[in-house]
Structure 1
Amino acid sequence: MAYSQANVKELVAYAKAHGVQVTPEIDAPAHVGAGWQWGLDFGVGELTLCWANSPTVYHQCWEAPCGQLNPMNEKVYDLLDKIWGEMTDLFESDVYHLGGDEVFTQCWKNSTVVSDHVSNKTGDDEYFEIWAKFQERVQNNLWKRAPKKKIQLWTSDLTTDKFFKYLPKDKVIIQTWGPAVNNEPRMITDAGYQTVVSFQDFHYLDCGFNGIDRKDNGWCAPYKTWQMIYEQPLDFNVTANNARLVLGSELVMWTEVSGEAALDTRVWPRASAFAERAWTNPSTRWDKAMPRLTIQAYRIIETGVAADLLQPHWCRQHPGECPLIVW
């Protein structure tokens, strides 16, 4: 799907009228392939590496389609700077998300254009250093255009003690994506960073349907029921002193296996359950919310959104007569 500048402006204006900021995510340096292959043909060198998928895809990236920016090509930084210029013209958000997701060092190891610049070609440390310097440069270029904006990044090998020096604490927000047991919010806030929490085992709405490359329900199964989402605590195991660094939590809907026809049912009314938890943090359990959310699901459907139901229609017609099993 492609969006014109007019499309983006319309979305931003519509959201603003409803009290919502649209925050763009321009993922880099990974997840970049299509549209960047023209560099050699136009004499500016390779812009993206590892984009030609093959049966050896897992030697190039975490999942198809592959592609990772070439951090050694100056033209890459020029092009990203132009993208930042366009982005700052189109979006009014206080935050720009620069991704940093699923960077695959093996891609750069397989590319002499990068590996020729490291002494230990099989280890990861020097490649992480290249990534860190890439990140520092692109975020500094963005701040030249929009000095008051904060940037947001996904947790990764870059968001660790060794590389925090490249990520200013007052200007970088780190978003978690690991499971709750990893305790990422605690580690991030203990380091002094603001965070947005998205646990893959509670906040990923695309999980539990089918795997894109295997005979199972996908890497992040099982399906996250609205009850699971509703009962996920909001303290995220951070200290009382660091609670102020938790900006909030985000429900995530990835679309590798979620087409337009299924989008509404995957999101709603589970997002309503999440909203009640995130905005009011009730002390009661999911069974107390069931009557409200059942009505909310019907309200959503009446607006034309293809939301799922939480209970049979009979239960709405007979409030309190459908028993709930709570444990």
Structure 2
Amino acid sequence: MAGWILLLVVATTLVRCSDVVKDYTPLIYEPSWVYKCVRQEGCQRSSQPHQTTPSNASSSLVFESLDHCRLICGQFGGIWPRPVFMSMGIQTVHIHPNSLRYNLNGVPAEAKELMTEMTKITSDNIRAECGGEVTAEANTSVVVYLTVKSPDLTLTWSTDEEYLLEVQTVGNNIAVLIVGETVYGARHGLESFTQLISSDRANYDDKKKCGLLLVSETKIKDRPAFRHRGFLLDTSRNFIPMDDIKRTIDGLAATKMNVFHWHVTDSHSFPLESIRVPQFTRYGAYSPSEIYSTEEVRQLVSYARARGVRIIIEIDAPAHAGNGWQWGNDYGYGDLAVCVNEKKWRKFCIQPPCGQLNPANQVMYRVLRNLYRDIADMLPKPQLFHMGGDEVFIECWNSSQEIKSYMANKGFAINQEGFMRLWAEFHAKALQIWDEELVASGSKANESVMIWSSDLTMPDRIQKYLNKNRFVIEVWEPEESDVLDQLIDLGYRVVDVPKDVWYLDHGFWGATRYSNWRRMYSHQPRRHSQVLGGEVAMWSEYVDSLALDGRVWPRTAAVGERLWSAGAQPAEAASARLSRLRARLAARGLRPDVLAPEWCAQHDGKCS
């Protein structure tokens, strides 16, 4: 009998415990944080999970998703890079891509095909916010009215990239007005339009549904601070597949950067196909599958142009030229290059493998002519070419009796200044060949070319050898160097690339220092008419396609904003917008590195 009483007591206790659990079991088992936009701070996660929806919340600045909060929080919301002027409401409206239309009546006939391609990219980027498929319905009509003032489709340093963007909402109808001086300005306006949109998964009973939210009232007036906003990718030291290059250009477009500087060859490999000189890839490619065909390059040029990005091909010379050039003797042409793959490399170059073109061999210039013609045919007019020109090692040329005999016959002393004269002669001949091949391809001669800073471009020497009207100097001196300013004072146009700040490979080898995005953001190029802009550089000794995205993004975007948005805004004021950009890049298929622990991303300013 006592046993039955004990069992009854235990059963009653279990029933009562069950009642207690039932009373306190939440309806939603997942954490349901909300995010509040706090003035001067940014988006802040609630102190504890809530079951309150924004419609019942006490503040209109409380949101169920961080992306929604970032969309409208702060003066510039989620726009990257920071625009010149922006006013924005805090209300959003649900939209669907199927109800999005583009009106191109204000676009010149010459620009309509390119503008149409740009609108397709815009729609794809909008759908990417929901993983490519927007499953939540919306009955709002959105019409984007595009106006382009100029029919000019060239993308150069003189291209006007200014744009105006307005979003106006009346009932269930939204009008988006985008006016660009050129088709590329209008493209930037379309990019900003996509950044006024975020995904919405929180406001539906079915959490698998994904909708889109658009800021209902916005006005932006914007233009870049610098004409050259570039990114360099080295594809010689390690081959980077074309799909990875295109994905990188997608990131440049999202950041409104307008130059892809393609360091396509070096002494390590020559992966660029030349129709006229097939020996380059036959002797210089790592494998048959690691070659950029002429047709692939042309497709890349078109791909980049539709994203507002200009392709600049660099053939580094006369140094950094080895594998791909070592076939001369096999064809009876003599040594096209010297010091190629020297075993005692430290005497002949800065890193293995070595190789420098042979300026004493006139056949080398005939081969170079054919290569230049191929490049002129690949690039859109007016073609911009980078001639390389850095890190010539005198010891390499001095080891060749052929070169020393040639110098003696020319009256060049066999000393440093004599080798400088030889180096300058190479660039003069190469420039003449480039001009002649431009004319042969139907372009104008006397266009500007780019060249790296070097011993030849030092302020006490450059005027003797390089014409300031033809050569744009890409200065890769350390940030504290005064070489850039001295070249400006001499009248040369420059592109700023401070290697100790904007080199993405630093911190991964030797005594170099890693630059995080804040350090990269802190460098502001000098505002001067002769400073065309700057570049961030991804040298590939220690990176390939497996690590590319994380090494490049989002740090490159920090440089992108510095080149678009002049001013001394501190990095911390930009961190929330950069977090939103990172999420946007990830949605578009890139794999950007993380900025901080996710807790920091959910509490703006708390980890500074």
Greater Cα offset, 79-88 or 181-190: 181-190
What amino acid is aligned across from residue 319 of structure 1 in structure 2?
A: H
Equivalent residue number for residue 295 of structure 1: 580
Greater Cα offset, 122-131 or 160-169: 160-169
What amino acid is aligned across from residue 513 of structure 2 in structure 1?
A: P
What amino acid is aligned across from residue 427 of structure 2 in structure 1?
A: Q
Q: 1:149 to 1:321 in 2, by over 3 A?
A: closer
Give the greater-gyration-radius structure (CA): 2
1: distance between equivalents of 2:539 and 2:309? Answer: 20
TM-aligned CA deviation for residue 174 of structure 1: 0.4
Report whether the alignment pairs 1:91 with 2:379: yes
CA contact under 8 A between 2:496 and 2:525: conserved in structure 1?
no
Equivalent residue number for residue 341 of structure 2: 52
Equivalent residue number for residue 141 of structure 1: 433
What amino acid is aligned across from residue 185 of structure 1 in structure 2?
A: L
Equivalent residue number for residue 62 of structure 1: 350
Equivalent residue number for residue 539 of structure 2: 254
Greater Cα offset, 111-120 or 81-90: 111-120
Equivalent residue number for residue 489 of structure 2: 190
SS at match of 1:23: strand
285, 288, 293: which is aligned to 1:4?
Answer: 293
2: distance between equivalents of 1:200 and 1:224? Answer: 10
Q: 1:311 to 1:168 in 2, by over 3 A?
A: same
Q: 1:108 to 1:287 in 2, by over 3 A?
A: same
Equivalent residue number for residue 239 of structure 1: none
Report whether the alignment pairs 1:235 with 2:520: no
CA contact under 8 A between 1:229 and 1:270: conserved in structure 2?
yes
Q: How does 1:48-197 map to 2 (within 5 A)?
A: 48-54=337-343, 56-92=344-380, 94-118=383-407, 123-146=415-438, 147-160=445-458, 161-197=460-496
SS at match of 2:461: helix
TM-aligned CA deviation for residue 323 of structure 1: 3.1
What amino acid is aligned across from residue 91 of structure 1 in structure 2?
A: L
25, 28, 34: which is aligned to 2:314?
Answer: 25
What amino acid is aligned across from residue 310 of structure 2 in structure 1?
A: Q
How large is the Cα RMSD of the aligned pairs? 1.7
2: distance between equivalents of 1:39 and 1:6? Answer: 26
Listed as ranges, the gaps of 5+ residues in structure 2 are 1-289, 439-444
TM-aligned CA deviation for residue 281 of structure 1: 2.1
SS at match of 1:101: coil
CA contact under 8 A between 2:322 and 2:340: conserved in structure 1?
yes
Equivalent residue number for residue 211 of structure 2: none
TM-aligned CA deviation for residue 145 of structure 1: 2.5
Deviations 1:119-140 (A, max 9, x none): 6876211111111111101111
TM-aligned CA deviation for residue 36 of structure 1: 1.5
200, 204, 211: which is aligned to 2:499?
Answer: 200
2: distance between equivalents of 1:86 and 1:25? Answer: 13
Q: 1:283 to 1:35 in 2, by over 3 A?
A: closer
1: distance between equivalents of 2:347 and 2:576? Answer: 50
SS at match of 1:139: helix
What amino acid is aligned across from residue 604 of structure 2 in structure 1?
A: G
Equivalent residue number for residue 240 of structure 1: none
303, 307, 323: which is aligned to 1:34?
Answer: 323
Equivalent residue number for residue 281 of structure 2: none
CA contact under 8 A between 2:472 and 2:493: conserved in structure 1?
yes
TM-aligned CA deviation for residue 34 of structure 1: 1.0
CA contact under 8 A between 2:473 and 2:492: conserved in structure 1?
yes
SS at match of 2:495: strand
Deviations 1:279-311 (A, max 9, x none): 002322011011111111111112121101112
Equivalent residue number for residue 204 of structure 2: none
Equivalent residue number for residue 591 of structure 2: 306
TM-aligned CA deviation for residue 164 of structure 1: 2.5
Report whether the alignment pairs 1:274 with 2:562: no
TM-aligned CA deviation for residue 117 of structure 1: 3.4
What amino acid is aligned across from residue 20 of structure 1 in structure 2?
A: V
2: distance between equivalents of 1:259 and 1:287? Answer: 31
Provide the TM-score with structure 1 as the length reference: 0.90
SS at match of 1:97: strand
2: distance between equivalents of 1:163 and 1:277? Answer: 29
Identity of aligned residues (%): 35
CA contact under 8 A between 1:96 and 1:149: conserved in structure 2?
no
CA contact under 8 A between 1:115 and 1:121: conserved in structure 2?
no
